């Protein structure tokens, strides 16, 4: 499929793909993030990921060594950008609540890192990789944003609330949360996040 003759203009390759290691690696990684987010670590095979990237399964191991190492890079890629976190501490809880309700809506098909986390956490190996990723990115960023004592603890408690909500509303599809009024739900979530993020009153 391809001739790289210089002057054979007419029959020049309709090249379905450039043979480029870096680009191929990139394509596999992008497919991996999507697939792992949709189906979790155990729920997807390397064949499937490779096919979405337009290559064969072999190249996955060629470029990443193993499924586990591919997952490690995918987690890092997925958690690097901010998704639900805003940068203004004053409006943080409200912003997060609003985006969360929006993204967990039944009609939304948003691919969120929290889904990657929830769907992969049942595998202990994957869970450890995800823990490291969370603490390195979102957790660390949020901790730095918070003032007062126990910033890490409060950040992870907020993550607990967010993750639990993703699980019950989007993954499980809890009837009460799916049919609830979004504005009402947003207010409740905001109240929860305010509590989770606040420094403790007593000591």
Partner DNA sequence: GTCTATATAATGATAGAC
Partner DNA sequence: GTCTATCATTATATAGAC
Sign of the Cα pseudo-torsion (107, 44, 69, 167, in order): positive
Q: In b/e form, how buried is each residue of 147-156, taking b as 16+ CB within 10 angstroms?
A: eeeebeebbb
Decide: 5 and 31 in contact? Cβ < 8 Å: no
> Which position among 33, 44, 158, 189 is part of the footprint of DNA (CB under 7 A)?
44
Nearer to DNA, 19 or 201 (CB): 19
Which residues, at least 6 apart from 187, have a Cβ–Cβ distance to it below 8 Å?
97
The interface partner of residue 7, options being its own copies, DNA, none and the CB cut-off 5 to 8 Å by kind, is none
Residue 184 touches which of DNA, its own copies, none (Cβ within 5-8 Å per kind): its own copies
Question: With binding defined as CB under 7 A, does residue 125 bind DNA?
Answer: no
Would you give the end-to-end CA distance of the chain in angstroms? 72
Q: For residue 189, give both structure tokens.
A: 């979530």
Q: Which of residues 66-85 bind DNA (CB under 7 A)?
A: 66-68
The H helix count followed by the E strand count for the chain is 11, 0
Choose which of 34, 38, 52, 61 interacts with DNA (CB under 7 A): 61
Least separation in angstroms between residue 122's CB and its own copies is: 4
Of 25 and 119, the one with the shorter C-beta distance to its own copies is: 119
Radius of gyration for the alpha carbons in the chain, expressed in angstroms and rounded: 21
Hunting for tokens 């497919």 — which residue is that?
31
Q: Closest CB to its own copies among 81 and 164?
A: 164
33 binds DNA per the rule CB under 7 A: no
Residue 30 or 131: which CB sits closer to its own copies?
131
Which two tokens mark 71? 């997952």
Count of residues touching DNA (by CB under 7 A): 23
Q: Which of DNA, its own copies, none interacts with 169 (beta carbon under 5 to 8 A by kind)?
A: its own copies
Smallest CA-to-CA distance from 171 within 38, 48, 33, 75 is with: 38
Q: Which listed option, DNA, its own copies, none, makes contact with residue 55 (CB within 5 to 8 Å by class)?
A: DNA
Q: Which of 2, 13, 58, 184 binds DNA (CB under 7 A)?
A: 58
Binding residues vs DNA (CB under 7 A): 17-21, 23-24, 44-48, 54-59, 61-62, 66-68
């Amino acid at each position: 499929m391809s001739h790289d003759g210089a002057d054979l203009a007419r029959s020049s390759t309709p090249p379905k793909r450039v043979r480029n290691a870096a680009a191929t690696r990139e394509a596999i990684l992008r497919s991996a993030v999507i697939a792992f987010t949709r189906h979790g670590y155990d729920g997807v095979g390397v064949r499937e990921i490779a096919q979405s990237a337009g290559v064969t399964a072999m190249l996955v191991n060629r470029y990443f060594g193993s499924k586990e190492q591919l997952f490690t890079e995918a987690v890092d890629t997925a958690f690097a950008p901010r998704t639900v976190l805003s940068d203004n501490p004053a409006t943080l809880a409200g912003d997060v609540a609003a985006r969360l309700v929006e993204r967990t809506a039944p009609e939304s098909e948003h691919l969120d890192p929290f889904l990657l986390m929830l769907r992969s956490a049942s595998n202990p190996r994957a869970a450890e990789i995800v823990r490291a990723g969370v603490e390195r990115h979102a957790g660390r960023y949020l901790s730095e944003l918070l003032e007062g004592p126990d910033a890490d603890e409060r950040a992870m408690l907020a993550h607990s609330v967010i993750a639990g909500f993703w699980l019950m509303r989007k993954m499980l599809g809890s009837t009460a949360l799916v049919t609830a009024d979004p504005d009402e739900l947003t207010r409740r979530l905001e109240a929860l996040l305010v509590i989770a993020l606040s420094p403790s009153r007593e000591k």
